[in-house]
A and B are shown apart, each in its own frame.
Chain A
Amino acid sequence: MKNTIKMIIVLTVLGLLSGAALVFIYRYASPLIAQNQKDETEKAIYKIFPEGKNYDTRIIGEDSVYKVKDKNGKLLGYAFPASGNGYQGQIDMLVGIQPDLATLAGIEVLDSQETPGLGQEITTEKFENQFKGLKVSPSISYVKNQKPQNPNEIEAITGATVSSKAVVTILNERIAKIKKDLNK
């Protein structure tokens, strides 16, 4: 009996201490983590729009859209997050589109768990640069093992068609939605 009480006391005290320690670290870390995420988004925005000087955030439904402007206040385009399932896990991207909503300004893969050496190549400049100036209508498509012929095509990564296709699918879905949202 004495032992049971001791067990309960020890476990309760331990639980309380552990909970308290975690609340403390959570309080310390969460603003820093939020800041890191914001920095990451900002960095990606200015990478896609190198002439961008500032941006306004607009919330549509649950999504954020960033209106990016240059130093004279001229609208350069819109940036927005896009995510979906890749080959091994979620792919998170930031997408930039020009004000006409027909041409991509670029994409930046923020987070992905694709196979290292194959699918993970979607995070390389070589792959991302293909999206600069890409036409989004009627929709983006991909070709395998050959140079793209049309202005709406990209070349899939050899050995990682699934990952390349996932990126294209996520983009098409998200762009269709953003067009609707922005025209409202």
Chain B
Amino acid sequence: MIKDFIKGLWRENPILVQVLGMCPTLAVSTKAVFGFSMGLATTFVLISSSVTVALIKKLVPHEVRIATFTVIIATFVTCADYFLKANFYSISKALGPYVPLIVVNCIILGRAEVFASKQNVARSFLDALGMGCGFTLVLIVLGSIRELLGSGTIFNYAILGKGFEHWVVMALPAGAFITLGFLVGLFNWINQKWQR
């Protein structure tokens, strides 16, 4: 059971290993706090839809399962979007169109199809929680690196002094691609060291 949770954090990490859900990962990681909120929103949708799919999997005919999953996911995403707009207005504005884009985050549909539609509720829940945490962790790490080098802060706390010249490129799309590229490389390197 516990393995279902752990695997999402490292061995089957959705971003670093499966290379899924890249679009929100790259887009909202300009600041650590945005990455964190995006991670939480995605985790919420992931857990809710995985549990729902696991609950109703016997009722859904095989031919329309993808359509069913998509509607379920889109419903939860709309809920998350309105909730953020109602209670965390400024964060919701910063994330912009990337909250509705959770609908097409392949991680969620992928987990529904590969895991939740075949397993029981408890295991699906743990699996979704693990994947969500793994996703959030990478977003926070990526967001922190980009925020630190791009504006000298982490979670809006000043880390590097005033003399630090901001690397504007880190806040730009190019910085996102390159940082994540090296992060994936670092991850593979650590894994290779371990295996030896």
Give A contacts to B, CB under 8 Å. 3, 6-7, 10-11, 14-15, 18, 21-22, 25-26, 28-29, 32-33, 36, 40, 111, 113, 115-118, 159
Contacts and interface: CB of A to CB of B under 8 A. Distances in A.
10 contacts: A3-B63, A10-B61, A10-B68, A14-B71, A15-B71, A18-B74, A29-B83, A33-B82, A116-B171, A117-B168
B114 interface: no
Interface SS of chain A: helix, strand, loop or mixed?
Answer: helix
A14 B72 contact: yes
B166 A21 contact: no
B81 to A, nearest CB: 9
B96 interface: yes
Which 5 A-B pairs have CB atoms at the shortest separation, nearest pair first? A117-B171, A32-B86, A29-B82, A116-B171, A36-B89
Contacts, number: 68
A28 B86 contact: yes
The bracket for how many chain B residues form the interface is 20 to 34
A25 B93 contact: no
A32 B168 contact: no
B160 interface: no
Nearest to B175: A117
Interface SS of chain B: helix, strand, loop or mixed?
Answer: helix
Nearest to A159: B168
Contacts of A33: 82, 85-86, 89
B18 interface: no
Given A3-B61, A40-B89, A117-B166, A21 B171 contact: no
Contacts of A29: 82-83, 85-86
A18 B75 contact: yes
B75 A22 contact: yes
A29 B60 CA distance: 31
Nearest to B166: A117
Contact of A111 (B59, B68, B93, B151): B93
